[in-house]
A and B are shown apart, each in its own frame.
Chain A
Amino acid sequence: MQIWFRTALAILLIHSTAVTSGWAALGQSVASVERDRAAMGGEGQTKPGKGYSIETITVAGMTVKEYVSSGGIVFAVAWRGIGAPDLPLLFGSYFDEYREGLTAFQNKKPRIRKPMVLKTAHMVVERAGHARSMWGRAFIPTLLPTTISPEDIQ
């Protein structure tokens, strides 16, 4: 179990499992986190941070953290677990930009086997790990609160 997850567990609040409709993601409001949790069939937890909060969703071997600004906007997501989380869900309106960027990235020849670092017009996406424990994070640099640096998104 990751260190951050233990810390989160120590001070988390357990969310209600109320289900709301619609989809949610990067750049959208905190309400979308609960919709993500419901859509993924996961369990939710909240950890307050300085100028932001971290909403954690745990589901089927995957832990997803959504970073929410004090203004209530999701500015980053991070995940660790088996495979990949539901990125169309988590990236929302940014998913198409990600897909385009990823396709261009994948079309570079020859391929290089290193952790993925993808910077598109509006987002940074990084992925690494191995088959049983894939790690990734995505954030919108222009939405990042001044109280957090990219290294804090883990």
Chain B
Amino acid sequence: MKFRVLACVFICLLSGCGGGGDSGGGAASPPAGPNVLTVSVGASALCTNVNTLCAQVTICQPGTSSCQTIPNMLVDIGSFGLRIFGSVLSPSLTQVVDSQNNPIGECMFFADGSAFWGPVQRADVVLGGEPAVPVPIHVIAPTFAGQSASNNPCNSMVGSDPLDAGFNGVLGIGVFAQDCGSVCATQSNNNLYFSCVASTCTSTTVPLLNQVQNPVWLLPSDNNGVILTLPNVPATGAQTVSGSLILGIGTSANNSPTPGVSVLKTDQNGLLTTIYKGTTFGQSVVDSGSNGYFFPDATIPLCATPLQDFYCPQAPINLSATLVGTNGHQEGISFQVANTLSLSQTGNAVFNNLGGQFPIFVWGLPFFLGRTAYVGIESQPSTLGTGPLLAF
């Protein structure tokens, strides 16, 4: 049955079935130090979906040495703060409450249509060999405050299972310090943060420091941003790839920016502009948590169902675009889009040329392969300037 074959191929594409392929290109010896986390695609039993970049973090009960190392955390430059499935979490954390001592819950949406509900709790978080920092995190727990996976303040089915998600949690390390910011500190109808009395949860304001935080900016040093560096892979992909997430920009011997990198300031929403084939696309997202290049180009053939949102050119197409920051700086980007069906048949898990159709530009994980990307956190100065910024 054609459909069943395609369905199998689809599953393999999504889950990066093993077999064949070589591992990603020979990078120089990786940087070392307390500010370095190893990141990888296709290297574990859980984090197996295609172009899914993962790392491990350590979570501790506040003020204690009762800690748990949690692997398979999605490394996500497109979100802000730490989210962990409550079902994998052992240490006892401290519930964040409002002025009436009512527990605070959060509803967080992701671009793929998924949503997560659960309490905001304080943990001591350890990144690499850095000191532990106290941080409010989002514990994913659909039944928190009498809610359920299908009936909750997100008006959506919410995630409940790490196996379904393909990760134990999300390490959101993008350009912002909080996942909401001043809007949720001042406006009660934000529909992100909720105060719960018994099983009634009402949208509420939450002070900035009680919001879910990007843990990087709370570090005692190495706190002005991150550097993500990944080797490239062959055009037919690789089974695994491994690289480094380095904390801080220009704060240690191992994180000085390469001279001449282009510094693109993002807009107030963390977005850039893309110029592609003469058309200017505002609101472009640079996001290690998305697994492909997504953009509109009616000249590239789409695949058949069930890959109908992905591109399927007969042969790989070499493309170029220009990323533009609000400071007027530009960076030319060469990229390739290959036949997604062919890629899916390699059995590999990492591709630098996976692309699909979408009305706005999303520069996903392929963008980061063979590249060193600098992420400057809002209001934090570094040798690259003051964030929010991205540099390549």
Contacts and interface: CB of A to CB of B under 8 A. Distances in A.
B180 A82 contact: yes
A59 interface: yes
A111 B166 contact: yes
A128 B189 contact: no
B38 interface: no
A60 B11 contact: no
A118 B156 CA distance: 14
Contacts of A116: 111-113
Interface residues of A, number: 46
Interface string A89-129: 00000000001001101110111111111100000001111
B184 A82 contact: yes
A134 B166 contact: no
A110 B166 contact: yes
A99 to B, nearest CB: 8
Interface stretch (B28-36, B121-129, B234-242, B355-363): B355-363
Interface in A36-59: 40-41, 59
Contact of A41 (B150, B189, B285): B189
Interface string A114-154: 11111000000011111111110100000000000011001
A28 B287 CA distance: 36
Range for the number of chain B residues in contact with chain A? 35 or more
A127 B359 CA distance: 10
A31 interface: no
Interface in B264-293: 267-271, 282-283, 285, 287, 289-292
A41 B282 CA distance: 28
Contacts of A118: 113
A113 B287 CA distance: 11
A60 B187 CA distance: 6
A2 interface: yes
B191 A84 contact: yes
Nearest to A91: B155
A59 B189 contact: yes
B92 interface: no
A10 interface: no
Given A87-B155, A134-B109, A113 B270 contact: no
A130 B113 contact: no
B49 A112 contact: yes
A131 B172 contact: yes
Contacts of A132: 80, 176, 179-181, 269-270
Interface centre among A2, A83, A86, A118 (most CB of B within 10 A): A83
A131 B111 CA distance: 8
Given A61-B183, A80-B283, A83-B107, A112 B112 contact: yes
A59 B203 CA distance: 14
B181 to A, nearest CB: 7
Contacts of A86: 155, 191
Contacts of B50: 112
Interface in B100-147: 107-115
A60 to B, nearest CB: 4
A1 B80 CA distance: 20
Interface in B139-173: 150, 154-157, 164-166, 172
B174 interface: yes
Given A2-B283, A113-B289, A115-B360, 12 more contacts: A3-B282, A80-B269, A82-B183, A99-B155, A111-B165, A113-B111, A114-B292, A115-B362, A127-B113, A130-B111, A130-B287, A131-B172
7 contacts: A80-B269, A82-B183, A83-B108, A83-B190, A114-B111, A117-B309, A128-B362
